[in-house]
Amino acid sequence: MRLHRNLVDAVVDGFLQINNDGLYADKVIERLLKRDKRWGSKDRAFIAETLYELIRYKRLYTEIAQEKAPFTVQSTRRVFAVWAVLRGITLPEWYFEGTPERRIKGRFDALSKERAVRESVPDWLDALGVKELGEEVWTRELHALNQQAQVVLRVNTLKTDKAALQAQLSKEGYETAPLEELPDALQLEKRANVFLSEAFKQGLFELQDAASQRVAPLLLGDWTPAQGSLKVADCCAGAGGKTLHLASLMGGKGKIVAMDIYQQKLDELSRRAKRNGAFNIETRPVEAKYLKRQRGSFDKVLIDAPCSGLGVLRRNPDTKWKLTPEFLDQIRSTQVQILEQYSQLVKDGGQLVYATCSVLPSENQQQVQRFLQSPAGQRFTLVEEHQIWATEGYDGFYMAKLLKNEK
C-alpha cells in the first residue's frame, strides 16, 4: 500500500479532534470526507477505516508508541506509524526517518498478553466486564466488538420487496446477500457508500444492523394488519430506525407515536418517514401532560432505552473512551425511571418491549427483574427475553417482551 500525505494528514487531524476535542468519531469522519472533492471512494475508505482502527485500538497503539493524551501532530504520527508497521506498510521518506520497527513489534508482543491493552479498553471497563459476564464470555465478546461492523440494510416493504431491492442495487453496482433468518435484511458483499444510491434516495431501504432488526418483530409478535389497527408508542425513538421498521411491518396502518426528549432527532425522523412513505407516524416531544392523558391507551409500547452502547462498539469505537463509571450509574438510574414511566402507557392485555444495545446484565436482565418486582411492574409478566452477543456476528443487543395482565 502506498501512503499519500494528504490522506495521512486527514487521519492525523481526525485523531486529534476525536481524542483532544472530545468530538464523536462518526461526525468527525463525515466532515473529513468532504475536505477534498478530488478524493475517490478508495481514498475516503482509507481515511474512515484507518481512523476507526486507530480509535478502536487506541490504548494498544498509544502504549506501543509510548504516547499519551493530549496528543500532538507529532505524537499522533508516531501512533500512526505503529499502525502501519503492524500492518506491514512501509512508511515513506516524507513521513519521518528511523521508525523503530523491531521495537514496535517487540512491544506489541509483550503488551498483547494483557487483555485490557490487547483489546484496548480502560482497566475499569475490563474489570466490570469480567464481573458481569465472567472471564471467558467477556474475553470472547470484547474481541468480537473490536471487529469491523457489517453493513446491513433493511428493506422498506412499504415501497418494495427484498428481491426487487436486491436487483436494483445490483444494477447500481452494490452486490448484496440475503440474511435468511431476517426476512427484510440484505448485507452488503463489499463496503460502499449506499447513501449515494438511487435506491436509498427513493426510500427503498434503511441501514439497520441485523440485531436491531429483531426488535420490532418481537414487539408486534404474530399480529397482522387483518387483525385490525394498532396504537403503538416508541418512547425513546431517537431518529427512528425502529420506528420506521414498525411502520413497515404494520403496512403503514394504525398509529405510531414516536417520542423523544430531543426535537432535532424527531425532526430527522420526520424527514426519514417522508422518504420512506411511512405516514402513520406521529412525532412528539416527551411531555408529562401527554403521558398522563395516554395512560393505558397503547396496544404496544417499545422502550429502546438509553444505555452504555457497549453492544455497538464495532460501529462506535470511541464510545469506550467516553464512558465513565459515573455515567453508567446515571444511565442505569435513567433506565429504572424510564421503565416505570412509560410502562404506564400500556393498556390491559397490551405488551411492552424493553431493549438496549448493551451486553451488560446490569442494564438488561437485572433491570427487567427489578421492574417486575417494583410496584409499577406488578401487573407485568415476562414473556420472553433474548441476549444477542457480538460473537454472533452483529451488534450486541438485549430485548425483553412483557405482558400487562388484565385486572
CB 120 within 8 A of CB 114: no
Both 312 and 399 in one domain: the answer is yes
- Among 66, 82, 113, where does a domain finish? 113
Q: Is 260 annotated as a binding residue?
A: yes
Residue 98 belongs to some domain of the structure: yes
Both 97 and 163 in one domain: the answer is no
| For helices 58-65 and 41-56, angle between their N-to-C axes, nearest 10 degrees | 80
CA geometry: angle 26, 31, 34, nearest 5 deg: 130
Residue 14 belongs to some domain of the structure: yes
Residue 134 belongs to some domain of the structure: no
Both 230 and 357 in one domain: the answer is yes
Residue 69 belongs to some domain of the structure: yes
How confident is the prediction for the chain on average, in pLDDT?
96
Candidate list 235, 236, 307, 357, residue with the active-site label: 357
Both 232 and 254 in one domain: the answer is yes
Residue 141 belongs to some domain of the structure: no
What confidence score (pLDDT) does residue 362 get?
A: 98
The pLDDT of residue 96 is above 70: no
Both 238 and 359 in one domain: the answer is yes
User: Rounded mean pLDDT of 48-67?
Assistant: 97
Residue 146 belongs to some domain of the structure: no
Both 288 and 373 in one domain: the answer is yes
Helices (H), 66-197: 73-86, 101-111, 115-118, 123-133, 135-145, 162-171
Both 185 and 268 in one domain: the answer is no
CB 371 within 8 A of CB 333: no
Count CB atoms within 10 A of the CB of residue 369.
Answer: 14
Both 194 and 83 in one domain: the answer is no
The pLDDT of residue 230 is above 80: yes
Percent residues over pLDDT 90 in the chain = 93
Both 298 and 392 in one domain: the answer is yes
Q: Name the β-bridge partners of 403.
A: 351, 381
Number of structural domains (the chain) is 3
Amino acid at 37: K
Strands 255-260 and 281-285: parallel
What confidence score (pLDDT) does residue 75 get?
A: 94
* SS3 state at 105: helix
Both 268 and 295 in one domain: the answer is yes
The pLDDT of residue 227 is above 90: no
Q: Is 36 annotated as a binding residue?
A: no
Both 161 and 298 in one domain: the answer is no
The pLDDT of residue 282 is above 90: yes
Both 78 and 159 in one domain: the answer is no
User: What is the C-alpha to C-alpha distance for residues 36 and 368, in angstroms, rounded to an integer?
Assistant: 49
The pLDDT of residue 189 is above 90: yes
CATH number of the domain enclosing 237: 3.40.50.150
Residue 333 belongs to some domain of the structure: yes
The pLDDT of residue 225 is above 90: no
User: Rounded mean pLDDT of 55-75?
Assistant: 96
Q: Which domain holds residue 199?
A: 152-207
User: What is the C-alpha to C-alpha distance for residues 167 and 170, in angstroms, rounded to an integer?
Assistant: 5
Confidence of residue 97 (pLDDT cuts 50, 70, 90): low
* SS3 state at 404: strand
Which residues, 6+ apart, have CB-to-CB distance to 160 below 8 Å? 168, 204, 205
CATH number of the domain enclosing 181: 3.30.70.1170
CA geometry: angle 392, 326, 66, nearest 5 deg: 75
Question: For 361-380, what is each residue's pLDDT tens digit?
Answer: 999 999 999 999 999 999 99
Q: b/e string for 90-105 if b means 16 or more Cβ within 10 A?
A: ebeeeeeeebebeebe
Residue 218 belongs to some domain of the structure: yes
Count CB atoms within 10 A of the CB of residue 397.
Answer: 26
User: Rounded mean pLDDT of 314-326?
Assistant: 96
Nearest to 314 by CA among 213, 221, 193, 397: 397
Confidence of residue 123 (pLDDT cuts 50, 70, 90): very high
C-alpha cell belonging to residue 124: 475499569
User: What is the C-alpha to C-alpha distance for residues 168 and 273, in angstroms, rounded to an integer?
Assistant: 21
The pLDDT of residue 95 is above 80: no
Count CB atoms within 10 A of the CB of residue 275.
Answer: 17
User: Rounded mean pLDDT of 397-401?
Assistant: 98
Confidence of residue 92 (pLDDT cuts 50, 70, 90): confident
CB 283 within 8 A of CB 270: yes
C-alpha cell belonging to residue 72: 500532538
User: Rounded mean pLDDT of 230-257?
Assistant: 96
If you write DSSP's letter for every residue of 280-348 in order, what string do you get?
A: SEEEEE--HHHHHHTTT-EEEEEEE-----GGGTTT-TTHHHH--HHHHHHHHHHHHHHHHHHGGGEEE
C-alpha cell belonging to residue 223: 399480529
The pLDDT of residue 26 is above 70: yes
Confidence of residue 91 (pLDDT cuts 50, 70, 90): confident
The pLDDT of residue 147 is above 90: yes
The pLDDT of residue 401 is above 70: yes
- Tracing cell 436487483 back to the chain, one arrives at 167
- Among 207, 231, 248, where does a domain finish? 207
Element (H, E) at 51: helix 41-56
Q: Is 307 a catalytic residue?
A: no
User: What is the C-alpha to C-alpha distance for residues 123 and 126, in angstroms, rounded to an integer?
Assistant: 5
